[in-house]
Amino acid sequence: MIRLENIGKQNGKQIVFIEASAALQRGEKVGLVGPNGAGKTTLFRMITGQEQPDEGQVSVDRGVTIGYFSQDVGDMAGRSPVAEVMDGAGPIGSMIAEMRELEAAMVDPDRADEMDQVIERYGEVQGRFEELDGYSLDGRAREVLDGLGFSQEMMDGDVGALSGGWKMRVALAKILLMRPDALLLDEPSNHLDLESLIWLEAFLKGYDGALLMTSHDREFMNRIVNKVVEIDGGSLTAYSGDYEFYQQQRVLADKQQQAQFERQQAMLSKEIAFIERFKARASHAAQVQSRVKKLDKIDKVEPPKRRQTVSFEFQPAPRSGEDVVTLKNVHKRYGSKTIYEGLDFQVRRKERWCIMGINGAGKSTLLKLVAGASKPDDGTVARGPSVKMGYFAQHAMDLLDGDRTVFQQLEDTFPQAGQAPLRALAGCFGFSGDDVEKKCRVLSGGEKARLVMAIMLFDPPNLLVLDEPTNHLDITTKEMLITALSQYEGTMLFVSHDRHFLAALSNRVLELTPDGIHTYGGGYTEYVERTGQEAPGLRS
């Protein structure tokens, strides 16, 4: 239904695609993968017609509807999230707004002389609204918003008052409600908590249209896609199967290509040695000429492209005492909302607690209390005397100096470190080549998160308090972070919606519920096995 044929595309000096071809068929669920900057968003924009290829063509079958979710959600204000979402399904949103205005006019004594016209117009709009199944659409919009974590109060509030992350969810809901023939989703898992992520996973599994998506959440990708298209070096390569199968095939294909390359290189060396040895002898001239012609005709096997992965040896964390954090009889309220009422909780050395709980349960509040970024209304929060803490939260990114480059920020923080280790550190966190010369003010959210994480881990504390550390990190950087943290010998307390991260790093689970706290001695995997749920309140 959607085909890209021999696409060529160049952005400035960067060649993005060279004679690249791929297709999206009805019912396929395709994961689009490739390193940052490989051209994933460019490909989406070419399919939707927002950009044109320099060569080749993009064709979409007649009548096929496309819904495209990108990270650029645009302005939203002046109406409710429900109305905003329904607006994506056609004129129904504006009809609802007009019906509300007319209803207000009906009870306005100043407009009594217009009442006949108002009632007549209300009947017209309501009739058309019913024809378009508007009342059902309102319910479906609320169902999607509920799945994405909205309360009823939020659904009917002003969309303009929402944060950027919640506006992203509104934009995503709008696309999902459309139920187009083809869904193009660019990082739909960003900004979602675990419950919303699991709901979206189920929605997309049940979606009967074609799906093309990118995601930095490998578990999410693995459970949904049945085909992977990789962008690498300007070409598109398709692999049938889920994300895990793609990874296995990728390793196998690289091994086979490397073996072919080495065999050909050995053969070429022999041929070239023969030519060099006998080229001056008239008696071997015919043989030499024959072999030269043979070499000219050979299709050269290229070595496999090397993924740029930089490993880094992190310093060991200093040892803390056995009692790292102790919370006793902690009370915390925000306005009329009670978060904790007599919370007791202790963290001991080398424990890695992942904090679970539905939206509003107090996960981030607990991290703030431990980090000292918030104070309890009553009770005590005490850290051990030898505890050196590192706290990662989204606001930590605001502390970067916008006028300094990435490398200058690292040098300012670690003036004694020397250039080589700092460049290695930057490379490990995805800042290679000219990236280290970027000013901090122009960095994306993901780049800022990577820089803050690099600074935190270069001279590691013995207590890490991490609030959604994987937001915006690509799969490769996440894997590097998991590898680094799995060797970390300090204590961890963290919140994350990435199930692979949770399973790889936790050895304790603290679940915050309305009835109080529940603790689990094993990590996230054991929690899922014991409770039968991947997140609080969701039964699998």
- Give the three-class secondary structure for 190: coil
The span from the CA of 42 to the CA of 4, in Å, is: 13
Taking CA atoms, 209 is separated from 29, 44, 143, 200, 519, in Å, by 8, 17, 19, 15, 41
Name the band, by pLDDT with cuts 50, 70 and 90, for residue 539. Answer: very low
| pLDDT tens, position by position, 79-118 | 899 988 887 776 676 777 788 889 999 988 888 888 999 9
Check if the beta carbon of residue 449 is closer than 8 Å to that of residue 438. Answer: no
Contacts of 524 (CB under 8 A, 6+ apart): 354, 499, 502, 503, 506, 509
The span from the CA of 150 to the CA of 400, in Å, is: 32
> β-pairing, 210-214 with 29-33?
parallel
Of all residues in the chain, what percent carry a pLDDT higher than 70?
97
**Residues 415, 421, 423: CA angle, nearest 5 degrees:** 95
| Site of tokens 């290695």 | 424
pLDDT of residue 163: 82
| Site of tokens 């006019």 | 105
CB atoms within 10 A of CB 16: 22
More confident position, 228 or 286:
228
| pLDDT for 172 beyond 90 | yes
Check if the beta carbon of residue 488 is closer than 8 Å to that of residue 471. Answer: no
pLDDT of residue 540: 43
Sign of CA dihedral 54, 60, 64, 67: negative
| Site of tokens 């070499």 | 295
The amino acid at 120: E
pLDDT of residue 443: 86
The span from the CA of 493 to the CA of 61, in Å, is: 51
Name the band, by pLDDT with cuts 50, 70 and 90, for residue 75. Answer: confident
Mean pLDDT value across residues 280-304: 80
pLDDT of residue 79: 86
| Site of tokens 């998991």 | 482
The span from the CA of 482 to the CA of 443, in Å, is: 23
| pLDDT for 282 beyond 80 | no
Specify the DSSP element, H or E, that contains 59: strand 55-60
| pLDDT tens, position by position, 385-430 | 899 999 998 777 778 888 999 999 999 999 988 888 898 888 888 8
Listing DSSP states for 88-123 in one string gives TTSTHHHHHHHHHHHHHHHT-GGGGGGHHHHHHHHH
Of all residues in the chain, what percent carry a pLDDT higher than 90?
48
> β-pairing, 323-334 with 337-348?
antiparallel
Beta bridge partners of 391: 465
Mean pLDDT value across residues 489-509: 94
The answer for 231, left when phi > 0, alpha when psi is -120 to 50, beta otherwise, is beta
Taking CA atoms, 398 is separated from 220, 393, 439, 445, in Å, by 29, 10, 14, 10
The span from the CA of 9 to the CA of 52, in Å, is: 8
**Residues 154, 155, 156: CA angle, nearest 5 degrees:** 90
- Give the three-class secondary structure for 396: helix
Check if the beta carbon of residue 371 is closer than 8 Å to that of residue 349. Answer: no
CB atoms within 10 A of CB 506: 25
DSSP state of 535: B
The span from the CA of 141 to the CA of 389, in Å, is: 44
Contacts of 195 (CB under 8 A, 6+ apart): 149, 358, 359, 535, 536, 537, 538
More confident position, 498 or 309:
498
Q: Nearest to residue 310, comparing CAs of 435, 142, 139?
A: 435
Token pair of 364, please? 């981030």
Check if the beta carbon of residue 217 is closer than 8 Å to that of residue 193. Answer: no
Contacts of 276 (CB under 8 A, 6+ apart): none
Taking CA atoms, 79 is separated from 154, 160, 336, in Å, by 12, 8, 26
The amino acid at 32: L
pLDDT of residue 170: 93
pLDDT of residue 326: 96
| pLDDT tens, position by position, 433-486 | 788 999 999 887 778 888 998 898 888 899 999 999 888 788 888 888 888 888
Mean pLDDT value across residues 364-378: 94
Q: Which of 63-72, 129-138, 213-222 has the lowest mean pLDDT?
A: 129-138
Quick one: angle between helices 445-458 and 419-428, nearest 10? 130
| pLDDT for 30 beyond 70 | yes
**Within 13 A of 471's CA, how many CA atoms are on the CB side?**
23
> β-pairing, 227-232 with 210-214?
unpaired
Contacts of 170 (CB under 8 A, 6+ apart): 73, 76, 81, 84, 85, 145, 159, 162
